[in-house]
């Protein structure tokens, strides 16, 4: 505003500006208020939805623990219908897959795990599902298929790298490629903290390869 205007002139300028822009100001304020309450409503509805999904997931888990497969399947379908794309949906399918794995029903386990891989909302779920499928394939002696699946990931995140390398070590060991197995186990151990269960388990397998290799070297000398 021009500093040379008198107070009366300045007042008139302000009045005119408000007259010309008042509706825009009110509209902007209205949008701000609507956005605020809209956000509050959205957050509240999201919280309610999350709580409902959490309760349903608990029901899925309980049904699975009680071996009530028909009930668990119905609950899982309800989860898919009402909470598609939620972490609870992913966890429900992983839980169903684990039950199938524990009962050695590998075909149905893979169906659940493939669903998670294809619909993962977070890469963590995708990696967990892929690793479990690879583990099943190793159990079924589908070694090349398991290796191909693991190698389909160009670069696994640090958190999952030891598990990728650990399974690769198992595959190479089963194929008799002991040097490759040792390298894979070594890479896995480098990414784990000494003393935890995974470290100790992989180290045990790595040490076993070293032990198995000694007689071969001794016989050749």
195 in any annotated domain: no
| Structure-token pair, residue 8 | 């009366």
pLDDT in tens, 89-134: 999 999 999 999 998 999 999 999 999 999 988 888 999 999 999 9
- Chain centroid to Cα 121, Å, comes to 7
- pLDDT of 4 reads 52
Q: What pTM value is reported for the model?
A: 0.72
CA angle 12, 15, 20 (to 5 degrees): 125
214 in any annotated domain: no
- pLDDT of 49 reads 65
116 in any annotated domain: yes
88 in any annotated domain: yes
d(CA 97, CA 18) in angstroms, rounded, equals 65
Residue 183 pLDDT greater than 50, yes or no: yes
Residue 141 pLDDT greater than 90, yes or no: yes
Residue 33 pLDDT greater than 60, yes or no: no
57 in any annotated domain: yes
169 in any annotated domain: no
72 in any annotated domain: yes
Counting the structural domains of the chain, the total is 1
Confidence of residue 216 (pLDDT cuts 50, 70, 90): very low
d(CA 68, CA 64) in angstroms, rounded, equals 6
Confidence of residue 157 (pLDDT cuts 50, 70, 90): confident
How many CA atoms, within 13 angstroms, populate the side-chain half-sphere of residue 124? 4
Give residue 62's domain range. Answer: 50-121
- pLDDT of 47 reads 56
- pLDDT of 36 reads 41
Residue 50 pLDDT greater than 60, yes or no: yes
98 in any annotated domain: yes
């Amino acid at each position: 505003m021009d500093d040379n205007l008198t107070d009366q002139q300045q007042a008139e300028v302000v009045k005119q500006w408000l007259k010309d822009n008042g509706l825009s100001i009110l509209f902007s304020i209205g949008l701000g208020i609507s956005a605020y309450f809209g956000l509050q409503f959205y957050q509240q509805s999201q919280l309610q939805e999350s709580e409902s999904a959490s309760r349903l997931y608990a029901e899925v888990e309980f049904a699975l623990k009680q071996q009530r497969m028909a009930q668990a399947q119905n609950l899982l379908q309800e989860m898919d219908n009402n909470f598609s794309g939620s972490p609870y949906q992913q966890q429900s399918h992983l839980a169903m897959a684990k039950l199938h794995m524990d009962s050695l029903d590998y075909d149905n386990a893979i169906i659940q795990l493939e669903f998670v891989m294809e619909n993962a909302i977070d890469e963590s779920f995708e990696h967990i599902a892929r690793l479990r499928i690879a583990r099943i394939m190793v159990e079924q002696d589908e070694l090349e298929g398991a290796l191909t699946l693991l190698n389909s990931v160009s670069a696994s995140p640090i958190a999952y790298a030891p598990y990728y390398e650990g399974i690769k070590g198992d595959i190479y060991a089963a194929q008799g490629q002991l040097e490759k197995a040792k390298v894979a186990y070594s890479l896995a151990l480098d990414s784990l903290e000494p003393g935890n269960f995974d470290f100790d388990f992989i180290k045990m397998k790595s040490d076993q390869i070293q032990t198995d290799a000694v007689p071969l070297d001794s016989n050749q000398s």
